[in-house]
Structure 1
Amino acid sequence: MLWNVDLTLVDVAIVTRDAYAEAFRQVTGRPLVKLAPAMGRPDSEIIFETLAVNGIVTGDDHLPRFIEALAAAFAARRKRLDKDGQAMPGAKDALKAVARLDGVVQSVLTGTIKSNAVLKLKAFGLDRHIDVECGGYGEEVYPKATLLQVAQGRVKARHGFRCDGANTVLVGDSTRDVQAARIAGATMIAVASGRSTAAELNEAGADIVLPDLTNASEVVAAVARLTSPLDRRPV
């Protein structure tokens, strides 16, 4: 089972923006004027667009330098996460409830770079039921559907489970998450806790749309509905 992070499990937008501004200043020597919107996109894509809309002509070293600076800037602000951010309502209980299902492997499929995603999860105690080594992250320059398949391969290599679309559930809040699941052949539980409405998530093709994660039993029931008992060996 793969979880999106931002606006599905946590909301730390203020800290993230501050870290982006610091990273932009370090890489370009200029103040950040406009940050490209996330909209379910990976950090690598956001970085390139942010540089472009601020008039920076990019070279081969811009992305790795920016990712390194972003990781350092975010880590320097990690003590602000629980003050200026929050776990999404019900996130901790939902993760704990799903972990009780037999054979479940929970990880993340996120546009956030790995080091920052781990800090976000740890800040709110959400990492306890997640194997972060199996996830897909924003510094990996793949379309999100391809990144989902990369994560499936990591689960298979790490846990020895068969992992394909029939036994992979993605939980996310954006239409891009839904599109990635559909392209990769995975099933999709969409949560209308982000910037996409329930109607938009349904129209994009989500298998199940929940208003939020506050009803852990509802989340578990959604997983059960989308997988058979055999499938749930490696959800």
Structure 2
Amino acid sequence: MLWNIDLTLVDVTIVTRDAYADAFRQVTGRPLVKLAPAMGRPDSEIIFETLAINGIVTGDDHLPRFIDALARSFAARRKRLNKDGQVMPGAKEALKAVARLDGVVQSVLTGTIKSNAALKLNAFGLDKYVDVEVGGYGEEVYPKATLLQVAQGRVKALYGFRCDGANTVLIGDSARDVQAARIAGASMIAVASGRSTATELHEAGADIVLPDLTDAPALVAAVAHLTTPMDRKAG
């Protein structure tokens, strides 16, 4: 089970925007005028577009410098996550319910860089339900579908499970999450808690669309529908 983080499990948009503005200033020496929209994209892609739309000619060192600055800026604001952010309704109960399924490994497939993803999960006590070491993250410059396959490889290497499209479920809130699952051959449970509507998620090809995560039994039933007992025991 791979979970998207932002607007699926947590909403820390205000803190993220502030961290981006600070990182931009550190890297360019200029104030941030416009931040590229997330739309389910990885931080690496958002960084490049943000630099471009603010008139910065990028060089080979811009991405690593920006990622380092973003990690520092976000970490400096970690105490604000609970104050200015929130866990999405039902997220913790959903993670707990899925964790009870036999043979399930839960991790994340997120556009957020790894260090910031860990801080987001930890701030709301969600980190205990996922193995962050086998996830896919925003500093890894892959298309999201390829990143999903990278995460599958990490699960297989660490846990020894057969890990392919037949026993992988992605849970996310954006049409881009759905597209990544489709390309990678994984099942997709979409949650209409972000900026993509239920109709858009259906049209993108989600297997199942839920309004939110508040109905944990419905989520577990969706997982059961998309996998088989043998698949779950195999990973």
Aligned counterparts, 1:1-235, within 5 A: 1-235=1-235
Q: CA deviation at 1:234?
A: 4.5
TM-score, normalisation: structure 2: 0.99
Q: Deviations along 1:166-196, whole A, 9 cap, x unmatched? A: 0000000000000000000000000000000
Corresponding pairs, count: 235
Following TM superposition, by how much is the alpha carbon of 1:67 offset from its aligned partner in structure 2, in angstroms? 0.0
User: Aligned partners of 2:186, 2:233: CA distance in 1, in Å?
Assistant: 15
Distance 2:147 2:207 in 1: 20
- Asked whether the equivalents of residues 168 and 234 of structure 1 are also in contact (C-alpha less than 8 Å), the reply is no
The CA distance in 2 between the partners of 1:95 and 1:52, in whole Å, is 38
Structure-2 separation of matches of 1:224 and 1:150: 24
Structure 1: distance between partners of 2:208 and 2:162: 24
Deviations 1:181-228 (A, max 9, x none): 000000000000000000000000000000000011111000000001
Amino acid at match of 2:34: K
- Structure 2 counterpart SS, 1:209: strand
Cα-Cα RMSD:
0.5
The 1-side partners of 2:226 and 2:233 are apart by 13
One-letter amino acid of the counterpart of residue 147, structure 1: L
Which aligned segments of 4 or more residues in structure 1 are displaced greater than 6 angstroms?
A: none
Gaps of 5+ in 2: none
Cα distance in 2 between the residues matched to 1:171 and 1:53: 31
What CA distance in whole angstroms lies between the structure 2 residues aligned with 1:205 and 1:218?
A: 19
> Structure 2: how far apart are the matches of 1:42 and 1:13?
14
Distance in 2 between the 1:8 and 1:31 partners? 30
Structure-1 separation of matches of 2:40 and 2:134: 20
Q: Percent identity?
A: 86
TM-score, normalised to structure 1, is 0.99
